[in-house]
Every structure is written in structure tokens, then in C-alpha cells.
């Protein structure tokens, strides 16, 4: 095998889960089918998928394997169950929901996290994925964190460690690989590495006490891979981000934590890296620092050229390449083969989702919080805040957040960050039912949705126009706003944003029968 073909095994490229080029949602990052066929024939060893239905994913994974000249690592960011990214599979509440349960009932939370991992792994495997990019081991101890937020398993090291370990056990027990991310911890930041390079001011003593325990727990559970973070930690390396730092990857992760399996970079197209380094040099520096797999290089050809030049010049040794190739192949050997046909996998998925619906509902019930009295008095305005009003997977046409209030005469109006500052006079007269879908997400840049909701709620209360409040996603926004409400205002919260979460929240507010309390008393 040529040197270039061996190096190609270390690249993980992004592609759409949709089958046709014209269906790609992010063509600037997602390779076309012609490009995919070229690179897979050249020996590229991994693909990360996003978008499409579960049925399309099942077809896509098998198509990619047919195009490939080597067994593939096929992965996805399905941190909240496969249905988070691929419609038709199970979409579970965000992991931070179980962090809250863990504070009151650790035993129940750990069992639920293990079941969460098992559900994710079984459905991923049925559709053709063999690598899940989770658990998120970051400790979300900074409420202003715009990108981790509800993706974390806890706000404390103890919760995040216990639940990350349980999730890993359940996931990998299903026959797929896990990935602990984002090493050495992206939780205590107020900036997003998709947009800029965050700085972590902590020393190694603090890292060992707070940030590292969840990674240690996942490593102890046998996690198959660790993903790097695009962060600057001056106490360990004042010059290079963790992804490109031998001090972080070789010294801290390999030697001090004893991790011997796969190390994968976070996506190298993210601004924290791509705005500072060329595509080729970023790949070479990551490999030099100790990464085995290069995820989403900004230019696959440039990445391969730089890696090849590094070996030709003596910058890298053949022994180093053999280590990475061995780790990749050993990881693949740990996986269980997916069903041979897409139809067989979809038949398995249909049975699984029916079985997993109970888990999904239990997770929603346990993380539900409600207060006040209902139902909201209408008619009036149903004001719904979303990230993007033209593309919101949580709000299909029959979403409960739209339909249930309409039955009481509330007219829906969607707003997003692009609408600019929201002013009360723009809402007309009459009662306002306020529903906020706000959570940390990549490329957001803000943890609170970018609008002064505390001011708006105060003004609505002052004019006696607030009919009710529903918050989906951020527990921090819920804690801030619910504290302002008198007992005569119905309000409820769910960390989930999917239609099932909306149904439960609105039932709790009196638009139906309240199905549960927060589950913390058992």
C-alpha cells in the first residue's frame, strides 16, 4: 500500500445523509458524490454524516461502504439519540436533563444514562453507523457557555463523570464505538470554538479536579476514542490550541491519563483552527501533536499533501503512522457488523423505536418542571422564539407548540435572532403566551438566544399580558425567568425541544392534563 493511501485512511470527511447532491444543506462542507467516490477510492477511511431521514441514512451508509476501498468508520453527532439528526429514529432529551436527575437520584440517573447509550448504539448500528461522537464529557459549569450547554451530562464533575461512564457502557455494549469529547474540557468557556479560539485560564490542578474526571471515567469504561478541543490552555501550551498541542495530547492524554486508543481532532474547518492555520499545516500539526484521525480538514487534498511531505522530509516517522493505522483498525475490529441490507436495518429500527418510546417518555417526564396555574387565558398571541424560523426541526406543521395554543385562540408568531431586538409595542394588544426554544448550539455565539427575555417578561407582567411561559432547552434561562413569575401564571420547562417535549410542557400548563411532576421525589 502506498504511503498516500495509508495516510488517506486517517482522514474523516463530511457528507450529507441525503442521497443526491442537490439535497445537500451545507455544500461548503459536504463533499459531492463525485468527490466522495474519488476520495473513498483513494483510501479515505472515515465519513461523518449529517442530514436526511433514517431511511436515507440506511441507504447512504451502505452506498459509502460500496464506494470505499477500505472498511469505513461511519460516524455522526447523535448526542441526543439518532433521531436528533435523522428523522424516524429516537430523539431523546439532551444529556443535561439527566445531570439534574443525578443530583436527586443518582442510581436512577445512571441506569437511564446506560439505557440512553444502549438506545443510541442499537439504532445507530441498525442504520449502518459504527461510531457515535459522544459522550460529551465537558462539565457545563459556565451558564454563559454558548455551545456546550444542554449537550453536557452534568454541571458538576461528579454527575458528568458518572453519567458519561454509564452512557459509554451502554453505547459500546451495543457494538458501536464511542468518543469522549471535547478534551480536555470545553465546559467553562463563554465563547464557541466554531467561531473563535476560547481560552481556558486554569492550571493542571484545577483541570484534574473539575474538567478531567469525566474523561477519566469514560477512559476507564473503555471508550474507543477521544476528540480534541480547539482551546488554548496557556498553563499547558501557551502557543498552540489543544488539538495541535503535544503537551495536551501526548503528555496529558497519552502519558498521564494512559489513553492508548484513537485520538480524533474536532472538525478542522472550525474557525478556531481554520482562521489561524492553512488546511495542510493544520492537519500536519494535529498529527504531529498526537492525533490519529483528521476530522473534516478544510481541504482534503492539501491535508494529504502536507502529511505526505512530512513523511518524505523526515518530520514524521513510519512507526508513528503504523501506530495510528493500528489504532484505527483495532477500533474497527471492535464493532459489530450492521445488517447487510438497508431494509433489514430499517425493519430492526421500527421494532427498536417502539421499544425505546418508553425510555424517551420517561426521560421527558423526569426532567419536566412546572409551576403556576392554568390554562392560559386566550385568545391572544402565541409568540415562539426559535433559532431559525425557516428551518426549525422541532416545529413541524403539526407541532404541539403551534396546534395546542391555537385551540385556545392563540395566533402563532415565530421570531428568531435575525429579527433584531424585540419591542413590546410590536406585539399588539392582548394576552401573550411566550414559548422560548433556546439552548446552546454551535455557531450561536450566545447562550440566551440574543434577546432580553427578562425585560420582556417583566414588561408583560407589568401590563398583565403574560398568559403563560414555556421554556424548551436552557435550564439557565428557565431558572432566571421562572423566578419572576407569580403563582397565577402557568409555566413549564423541558430540556428537550422536540414535539414530544412540547406536548408534555403544554399539558403541564393546562393545555391538556398534566402528565407528571419533575420525578425528583422517587
Q: Quick check: helix, strand or coil at residue 469?
A: strand
Q: Are 119 and 167 in contact (CB under 8 A)?
A: no
pLDDT value of position 451: 61
pLDDT value of position 419: 61
CA–CA separation, 321 and 313 (whole Å): 14
Read off the DSSP letter of residue 153: S
Count of domains for the chain: 2
Residues 251 and 345 in one domain: yes
* Crossing angle for the helix pair 453-462 and 475-482, to the nearest 10 degrees: 30
| Residue-number span of the structural domain to which 414 is assigned | 368-508
> Can you tell me the mean pLDDT for 167-193?
92
Residues 406 and 323 in one domain: no
Q: Are 199 and 150 in contact (CB under 8 A)?
A: no
pLDDT value of position 425: 83
> Can you tell me the mean pLDDT for 176-185?
97
Active-site residue flag, 194: yes
pLDDT value of position 446: 54
* Residue finishing a domain among 352, 384, 411: 352
Residues 473 and 399 in one domain: yes
Active-site residue flag, 230: no
pTM of the full structure: 0.93
Q: Is residue 469 part of a domain?
A: yes
Residues 496 and 433 in one domain: yes
Q: Is residue 130 part of a domain?
A: yes
46-50 β-sheet, strand order? 131-132, 73-76, 46-50, 11-16, 294-295
Residues 312 and 390 in one domain: no
CA–CA separation, 336 and 174 (whole Å): 8
For residue 520, is pLDDT > 80?
A: no
Helix (H) or strand (E) holding 175: none
Q: What is the CATH number of the domain that holds 429?
A: 3.40.50.10870
Residues 320 and 176 in one domain: yes
Q: Is residue 521 part of a domain?
A: no
CA–CA separation, 234 and 364 (whole Å): 40
- 229-257 pLDDT, tens digit each: 999 999 999 999 999 999 999 999 999 99
For residue 513, is pLDDT > 80?
A: no
Of residues 389 and 163, more confidence is placed in 163
Catalytic option among 102, 194, 230, 356: 194
% the chain with pLDDT above 90:
84
Identify which of 358, 360, 378, 364 has the alpha carbon closest to the alpha carbon of residue 510. Answer: 378
> Can you tell me the mean pLDDT for 402-429?
86
Catalytic option among 266, 292, 387, 448: 266
pLDDT value of position 94: 97
Residues 189 and 315 in one domain: yes
For residue 259, is pLDDT > 90?
A: yes
Q: Quick check: helix, strand or coil at residue 353?
A: helix
- 60-85 pLDDT, tens digit each: 999 999 999 899 999 999 999 999 99
Q: Is residue 202 part of a domain?
A: yes
* Residue finishing a domain among 319, 352, 385: 352
- 473-511 pLDDT, tens digit each: 999 999 999 999 999 999 999 999 999 999 999 999 998
- 352-372 pLDDT, tens digit each: 999 999 999 999 999 999 999
Task: Please report which confidence band the pLDDT of residue 445 belongs to, taking 50, 70 and 90 as the band edges.
Answer: low
CA–CA separation, 226 and 242 (whole Å): 12
> Can you tell me the mean pLDDT for 41-60?
97
Identify which of 183, 251, 340 has the alpha carbon closest to the alpha carbon of residue 348. Answer: 340
* Residue finishing a domain among 318, 352, 386: 352
For residue 471, is pLDDT > 80?
A: yes
Residues 119 and 221 in one domain: yes
Residues 326 and 428 in one domain: no
Cell numbers 478541543 correspond to 229
CB atoms within 10 A of CB 400: 20
Residues 331 and 445 in one domain: no
For residue 449, is pLDDT > 80?
A: no
Please tell me the least confidently modeled range out of 85-94, 144-153, 314-323, 470-479. Answer: 144-153
> Can you tell me the mean pLDDT for 143-152?
88
Residues 285 and 433 in one domain: no
Residues 313 and 376 in one domain: no
**Residue-level length of the chain:** 522
pLDDT value of position 420: 65
- 344-353 pLDDT, tens digit each: 999 999 999 9
For residue 512, is pLDDT > 80?
A: no
For residue 21, is pLDDT > 90?
A: yes
Burial level of 313, CB count in 10 A (0-12/13-18/19+)?
exposed
Q: Taking all residues of the chain, what is their mean pLDDT, rounded to a whole number?
A: 92
Q: What is the CATH number of the domain that holds 135?
A: 3.20.20.300
Q: Is residue 341 part of a domain?
A: yes
pLDDT value of position 521: 29
Query: Which residues have C-beta within 8 Å of that of residue 351, sequence separation ≥ 6?
Result: none
Amino acid at each position: 500500500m502506498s504511503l498516500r493511501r495509508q495516510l488517506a485512511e486517517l482522514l474523516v470527511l463530511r457528507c450529507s445523509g441525503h442521497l443526491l447532491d442537490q439535497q445537500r444543506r451545507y455544500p461548503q462542507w459536504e463533499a459531492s458524490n463525485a468527490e466522495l467516490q474519488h476520495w473513498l477510492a483513494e483510501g479515505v477511511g472515515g465519513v461523518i454524516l449529517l442530514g436526511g431521514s433514517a431511511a436515507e441514512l440506511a441507504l447512504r451508509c451502505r452506498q459509502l461502504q460500496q464506494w470505499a476501498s477500505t472498511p469505513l468508520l461511519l460516524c455522526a453527532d447523535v448526542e441526543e439519540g439518532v433521531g436528533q439528526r435523522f428523522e424516524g429514529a429516537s430523539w431523546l432529551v439532551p444529556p443535561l436533563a439527566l445531570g439534574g436527575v443525578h443530583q436527586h437520584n443518582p442510581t436512577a440517573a445512571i441506569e437511564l444514562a446506560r439505557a440512553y447509550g444502549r438506545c443510541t448504539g442499537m439504532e445507530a448500528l441498525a442504520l449502518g453507523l459504527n461510531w457515535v461522537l459522544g459522550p460529551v464529557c465537558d462539565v457545563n459549569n459556565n451558564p454563559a457557555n454558548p455551545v456546550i450547554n444542554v449537550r453536557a451530562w452534568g454541571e458538576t464533575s461528579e454527575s458528568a463523570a458518572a453519567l458519561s461512564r454509564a452512557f459509554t457502557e451502554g453505547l459500546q455494549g451495543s457494538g458501536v464505538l464511542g468518543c469522549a469529547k471535547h478534551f480536555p474540557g470545553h465546559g467553562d468557556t463563554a465563547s464557541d470554538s466554531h467561531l473563535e479560539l476560547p481560552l481556558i485560564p486554569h492550571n493542571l490542578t484545577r483541570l484534574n479536579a473539575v474538567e478531567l474526571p469525566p474523561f477519566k471515567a469514560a477512559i476507564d469504561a473503555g471508550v474507543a476514542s477521544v476528540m480534541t478541543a480547539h482551546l488554548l490552555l496557556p498553563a499547558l501550551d501557551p502557543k498552540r490550541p489543544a488539538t495541535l498541542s503535544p503537551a495536551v495530547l501526548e503528555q496529558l492524554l497519552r502519558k498521564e491519563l494512559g489513553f492508548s486508543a484513537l485520538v480524533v481532532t474536532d472538525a478542522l474547518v472550525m474557525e478556531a483552527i481554520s482562521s489561524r492555520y492553512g488546511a495542510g499545516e493544520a492537519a500536519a500539526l494535529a498529527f504531529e501533536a498526537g492525533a490519529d484521525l483528521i476530522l473534516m480538514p478544510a481541504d482534503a487534498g492539501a491535508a494529504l499533501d502536507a502529511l505526505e511531505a512530512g513523511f518524505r522530509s523526515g518530520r514524521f516517522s513510519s512507526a508513528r503512522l503504523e501506530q495510528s493505522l493500528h489504532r484505527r483498525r483495532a477500533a474497527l475490529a471492535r464493532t459489530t457488523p450492521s445488517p447487510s441490507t438497508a431494509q433489514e436495518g430499517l425493519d430492526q429500527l421500527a421494532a427498536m423505536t417502539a421499544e425505546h418510546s418508553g425510555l424517551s417518555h420517561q426521560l421527558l417526564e423526569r426532567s419536566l418542571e412546572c409551576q403556576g396555574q392554568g390554562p392560559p387565558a386566550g385568545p391572544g398571541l402565541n409568540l415562539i422564539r426559535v433559532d431559525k424560523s425557516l428551518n426549525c426541526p422541532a416545529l413541524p406543521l403539526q407541532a404541539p407548540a403551534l396546534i395546542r395554543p391555537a385551540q385556545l385562540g392563540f395566533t402563532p408568531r415565530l421570531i428568531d435572532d435575525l429579527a433584531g431586538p424585540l419591542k413590546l409595542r410590536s406585539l399588539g394588544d392582548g394576552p401573550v403566551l411566550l414559548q422560548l426554544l433556546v439552548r446552546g448550539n454551535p455557531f450561536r455565539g450566545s447562550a440566551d438566544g440574543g434577546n432580553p427575555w427578562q425585560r420582556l417578561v417583566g414588561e408583560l407582567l407589568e401590563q398583565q399580558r403574560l398568559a403563560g411561559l414555556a421554556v424548551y432547552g436552557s435550564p439557565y434561562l428557565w431558572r432566571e425567568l421562572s423566578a419572576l413569575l407569580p403563582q397565577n401564571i402557568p409555566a413549564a420547562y423541558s430540556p428537550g425541544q422536540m414535539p414530544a417535549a412540547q406536548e408534555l410542557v403544554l399539558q403541564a400548563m393546562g393545555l391538556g392534563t398534566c402528565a407528571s411532576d419533575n420525578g425528583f421525589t422517587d
